[in-house]
Every structure is written in C-alpha cells, then in structure tokens.
Structure 1
Amino acid sequence: MADESMVRAIVDLFSAGTETTSLSTTWAILFLVCYPEIQRELHKEIMQVIDNGRRPSLQDKPHLPYVQAFISDMMRVVNIAPTSVPHVTQDEVELCGYVIPKRTVCTANIYSVHMDPKEWPEPEEFRPERWINKAGPRACLGEQLARIEFFLFLTSMVQQYEFSAPTGTLGNHLTTSFTS
C-alpha cells in the first residue's frame, strides 16, 4: 500500500507540475502582451541582475522580486487551480458550527480566497506590486516544482524576447471576464 501511495504522489506531482507550468506560461505571455509596462519593468529587473550572455538560474530568484511578484499575482488572478486537491478528514471535526464527520472528503475553494476583497483590495485587478515585501502565497505539494520551472521559463523568455500583439487586436489590459 505504501508503494502505491508513493507512485500516486509522484504521478500527481509530475502531472500537476507540468500542467501548472504549461498553463502558467500561456497566461504569462498573454499578461506580457496586455501589460507592456509590466513587461518592460520585468525586463529591466532581469537585465540588471542577469548578464544578457547567460541563462537565468535559481540563484537569481532572490534578486528578482518583481519577477516573483508578477508570478504570484498572475497565479492569484488566473486561478489555475481554483480548488485544492481533495482531502479526507482523519477525525470528526467542528468548523464554524458545522460537524464534519470522520472520513469526509473536503476540497478548499482557493478561488474564493484569491478573489476576497477583504484580503485583496480590487482583487480582479492584476497588480504584481501588491506582493512586494509581503508574504502569503499558497502552498501545495507540487508548487515548488512548478514555481521553479515557471520562474526559469519566464525569466528566460522576458530576457530574450518582447511579446506583443498586432495593433488593434487587444485592448490595453485584460478584462476580468476570465475570473467570473
């Protein structure tokens, strides 16, 4: 049984990390196109830290706070994983006056937290600067793998390329229709 659990965990880690990275990269390109001023700020920070002749590495991450803020707010707004993976209660538990029986499958609504105006003023707005000097990113089993891969993809892309859309094909900013 332990071997089976380990295999499931590895498969979950691999598939969740790969899918998250792929979707995050797609959304990042869209955000870079729609927010050219943010793209310029990312590029400026990357070029100040990373010599143009070398590839970004994980050692650069602590020196690129705006890149990390971009990733955090993009993941918050886009909600690639709007709910957590299912969990099962070990024991009966009371939560907010409700009794949840032992062995109940529970899933957290991460979207509701990411879009809560009490936690995020104007939550539908994409604002990477809200993460500068703040803590609070969510955590999941595959998050570190996905964030490492995505950090390296994003910094490499912004270091080497400028993303844009043909004139007149997009408005200046993303609308919030994708968050409803």
Structure 2
Amino acid sequence: MQGIVNKYNQVLADSRVLDGFHPAPNLVYLWPPALRAYRRIHRNMTTIKKTISDEVEEHKKNLPLSGEPNDYIDAYLMELEELKRRGEMDHYLSESGLRENVVDLFIVGNDTTAHSIRWCVLFLLCHPQIQEKLQVEVDNVVGSDRTPSLKDRNRMPYAQAFTMEVLRLSHLGPLGVPHESTEDADIAGYRFPKGTTFVANVWWCHMNPKFWPDPEKFEPERFLNPDGSVKTKVPSFLPFSLGKRQCIGESLALMELFLFIAIFMQKFTFRTTTGLPHPKAEGVDSITIKPPKPFQFLVEERKH
C-alpha cells in the first residue's frame, strides 16, 4: 500500500510541474522536465489503476455469497450483485466508481490523514494550554484504565472542536477539488457556459473574517455552542469540499482524527525541544495537499 501511496504522491508533485501548461498542453513536449513529469504521471497512474483493478478482481473471486462483507470492497460488490439480481440499475454504483472510491479512501485518504495528524501535533506544540485542556477532558471522560473509543466521542466535545479547528487553519486542501457546470449559468453579471471548470477558494472560506473573527487565531472554542456541545452546522467550514464531489471519507477521517488525538492525549505530552527554534504553524507551499513544514519535538509519557 505504501508503495502505491508514494506513486500517487509523485503524481501530485508532477502535476504541479504541469499546472502552467493547461492553456497550451502541446508545449509539454517542448520542455524536457515537463515531458518527463508527464510520462511519470502516465506510468504511475497505469500502475495504480492496475493494482486496484487486480484487488477488485481478487475480491470478486472470493466474494461472500451471504453474511457480512469482509471490507469496503466486498460491501460495494455485494450491493452491485444485489442490484443486478433485482434487475435494477444505479448509475451511482459501478465497478469503475468502486475503483475511484478505493483511490480516494485508501490512497488519497492515507496521505491526507497522516498530514492532518502532523498538523494536530504541531498545533499542540504551539498551544500547550490547549493540550492541557484536551488531557483534562480525556482524563475526566475515559480515565487511564482503558483506551479511548468512538463511544467516547460525543462526551468529548473539546477534542472534536480541536480537530475541526486544525482542519480549518491548516489549509490542507486550499483549493478543494474542481467542479464542472452542468448547464449555462449567469453569476454576478458573468456568463459561464456549460462545461466550465470551477475551483473553490477553500482557503478564503476558512479565513474570511465575516465568518471567523480573528481568523488567524487558533481557537477550538469557535466550534462549541454556549452549552459546551459541538456545533453541527458551521458556515464557511468546508475542509471536505461540498456537493457531489464532497470527500467520501469525511466521516472516516473525523473518526480517525478523534481517536488519534484522544489516545495521544491520554498517554503522552508533546513538548518542544530545548535549544531548537520553537516550531511555527507553517505549511509547505502547495495548491493541492499542504503538509506542515518539518519540525522536531519531544514525546513524554504521561504518569497517571
């Protein structure tokens, strides 16, 4: 899996090389670095697609005839088989859609979740008082005799608010994913024909002072109601995009981040290293996935 993730990361890196060639794609062939990037993209995507197709075919051969599915691919294939048995067609479910979902969930999601965790640790280092609040919450709700689980999530609103604020201020995907208009449209006096590609400025949605007072300040309390519960609908909070191209892994990602933070805060304290510059909440310049800049820290086991 890690080898496939690395190939996908290379595809993203090479895509940035080709960004400026969209108006005149044929010019790629005239500049050797761009041509090499283009060929690597084609080669790596071919490998990724074949690996996923082989995995889907293997699941089809061993698909359970009844009972519980073993994993996501089994569940998807079993639903397809049930639709075929009933003679029903669903244009939202297909084997090609399954392969695309696997890329999103297990390849793209692997990298974005890892970067999100790195951002979480970085913000904990930058705001030790927030780390203390998280530790108090997990101590009060879970204690030290068992490992935090998803059953604790609704009783730990501050941990949820923390992960939401990390997603807002880390700008992990500053431009989201492209969308295409399905019909002609007039917006603010401009004409956009059918087929126009739109790119959302998610960064501005998360930094607009109209919705976020003092937007550069890291403040998990933004996502808490006066009674301490987590806000369920927050204007201008779009870390997973929206619409039909909204990230299908949103629920999974939020659950994973909660578990990581809850377990980390139960067992460890993260501290800055003596003699080295204090880490800053800065990311690598990117219009796709934006990881934090490298930083060093100490992990101290908590004594309960």
Fold equivalence (TM over 0.5) = yes
Shift, 1:4, TM fit: 1.6
- SS of equivalent residue, structure 2 residue 165: helix
Could you tell me whether the CA contact under 8 Å between 1:21 and 1:150 is conserved in 2?
Answer: yes
Structure 1 unmatched runs, 5+:
none
Q: Deviations over 1:86-118 (max 9, x none)?
A: 122111122222222112221211001101111
CA distance in 2: counterparts of 1:94 and 1:20, whole angstroms? 35
Match of 2:144 in 1: 52
**Mapping 1:5-154, distance limit 5 Å:** 5-133=97-225, 134=231, 135-136=233-234, 137-138=237-238, 139=240, 140-154=247-261
RMSD: 2.1
CA distance in 2, matches of 1:8, 1:178: 28
One-letter amino acid of the structure 2 residue matched with residue 144 of structure 1 = S
**TM-score, length-scaled by structure 1:** 0.89
User: For structure 2, which runs of at least 5 residues remain unmatched after alignment?
Assistant: 1-90, 226-230, 241-246, 286-304
Query: What do residues 117-144 of structure 1 show as CA deviations (whole Å, max 9, x unaligned)?
Result: 1111111110111111133143432221
TM-score (norm. length: structure 2): 0.54
**Offset of residue 29 of structure 1:** 1.0
Contact 1:124 1:179 in 2 (8 A): no
Partner AA of 2:166 in structure 1: M
Kindly name which structure, 1 or 2, has the bigger radius of gyration based on alpha carbons: 2
Structure with greater contact order relative to length (CA < 8 Å, sep ≥ 6): 1
**1:156 corresponds to:** 263
1:4 pairs with one of 96, 111, 114: 96
Count how many residue pairs are aligned between Structure 1 and Structure 2: 178
